[in-house]
């Protein structure tokens, strides 16, 4: 449902940079007006840039890791009396390093933003969409949701929660006209890795080297490293194709 000017309205969180900014830009290019949110002052700069796409943009600087912050955003989004046609719940943080040695406050804040804030906002926006019989809700999960994440354990677990949550809501709302989407990006060149301290190796208290978690290593590998990895994988495949009962050198006993 569009506003009186015929333009639909989208809400995007974590929209000051990275994936959130690109989501907001794509909405603008598709003819949406925008409500964008982030906790840092860069959200105002993002708003100025997005207005250049021809959209009416309301920028809200708010901390979505708090109950009050989510409520403030919901109030700001509803201030114009227009329905939300699309909501992209994208705001999130990561914390890198061994869990047992990490800052507990940072880990709890991750849960409050990535999980609690997402559930809170979804619960606030969905009833109106269901009542209208239309709308779309997108959660930014991650390919990290599909596997355990050593040295980013709470981040990977939070993304697994969002993926499961989105799938459950999709089933619940399948006959309502409301669309639920889980966005599953792979490693993306944004400021996320720097903020989460996942860019470079470190060491734990025992002096053991901590490799960068998988998101920070995939797209940063050099051409030389990629070639070496490819050669190693090819050699492994060649070895695996040799029948175990027919080795290259005569064995004392031939076993499967």
Tell me phi and psi for residue 255, to 5 degrees: -120, 155
User: What pLDDT score does 6 carry?
Assistant: 84
For β-strands 9-13 and 86-89, DSSP reports them as parallel
User: What pLDDT score does 35 carry?
Assistant: 98
pLDDT in tens, 35-53: 999 999 999 999 999 999 9
User: What pLDDT score does 193 carry?
Assistant: 45
The residues near 191 (Cβ < 8 Å, ≥ 6 apart) are 17, 18
Neighbours of 10 (CB within 10 A): 27
CATH number among 3.40.50.300, 3.20.20.70, 3.40.50.720, 1.10.150.120, domain 9-218: 3.40.50.720
- Give the range with max mean pLDDT: 27-31, 190-194, 250-254: 27-31
User: What pLDDT score does 186 carry?
Assistant: 81
Domain limits of the chain? 9-218
DSSP string, 56-102: -EEEEE--TTSHHHHHHHHHHHHTT----SEEEE-------S-GGGS
pLDDT in tens, 196-249: 445 444 444 445 444 454 433 333 333 444 444 455 555 555 554 444 443 333
Measured distance CA(195)–CA(222) in Å, rounded: 22
User: What pLDDT score does 220 carry?
Assistant: 34
pLDDT in tens, 89-140: 999 999 999 999 999 999 999 999 999 999 999 999 999 999 999 999 999 9
Tell me the whole-structure pTM to 2 decimals.
0.75
Q: How confident is the model at residue 188 (pLDDT cuts 50, 70, 90)?
A: low
User: What pLDDT score does 215 carry?
Assistant: 39
How far is Cα of residue 57 from the mean position of the Cα atoms in its chain? 23
pLDDT in tens, 68-102: 999 999 999 999 899 999 999 999 999 999 999 99
Of 67, 151, 155, 163, the active-site residue reads 155
DSSP string, 17-38: SHHHHHHHHHHHHTT-EEEEEE
Residues of the chain with pLDDT > 70, as a percent, come to 71
Whether residue 190 has pLDDT greater than 80: no
Q: Which helix (H) or strand (E) holds 135?
A: strand 135-140
Residues of the chain with pLDDT > 90, as a percent, come to 70
Contact 61, 36 (CB under 8 A): no
Told to judge if 155 belongs to the known catalytic residues of this protein, a careful annotator would answer: yes
User: What pLDDT score does 203 carry?
Assistant: 46
């Amino acid at each position: 449902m569009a506003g009186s000017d015929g333009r639909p309205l989208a809400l995007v969180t974590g929209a000051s940079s990275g994936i959130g900014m690109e989501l907001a830009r794509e909405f603008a290019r598709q003819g949406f007006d925008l409500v964008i949110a982030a906790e840092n002052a860069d959200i105002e700069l993002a708003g100025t840039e997005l207005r250049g796409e021809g959209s009416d943009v309301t920028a809200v600087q708010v901390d979505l890791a708090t109950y009050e912050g989510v409520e403030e955003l919901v109030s700001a989004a509803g201030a114009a009396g227009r329905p939300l046609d699309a909501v992209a719940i994208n705001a999130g943080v990561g914390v890198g390093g061994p869990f047992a040695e990490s800052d507990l406050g940072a880990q709890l804040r991750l849960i409050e933003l990535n999980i609690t804030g997402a559930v809170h906002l979804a619960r606030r926006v969905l009833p109106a969409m269901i009542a209208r019989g239309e709308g779309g809700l997108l959660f930014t999960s991650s390919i990290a949701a599909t596997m355990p994440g050593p040295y980013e354990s709470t981040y990977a677990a939070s993304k697994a929660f969002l993926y499961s949550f989105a799938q459950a809501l999709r089933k619940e709302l399948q006959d309502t006209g409301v669309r639920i989407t889980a966005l599953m990006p792979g490693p993306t060149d944004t400021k996320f890795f720097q903020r989460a301290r996942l860019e470079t190796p470190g060491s734990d208290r025992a002096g053991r080297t901590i490799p960068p978690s998988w998101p920070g290593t995939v797209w940063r590998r050099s051409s030389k490293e990629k070639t070496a990895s490819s050669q190693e994988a090819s050699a492994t495949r060649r070895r695996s194709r040799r029948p175990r009962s027919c080795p290259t050198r005569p064995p004392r006993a031939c076993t499967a």
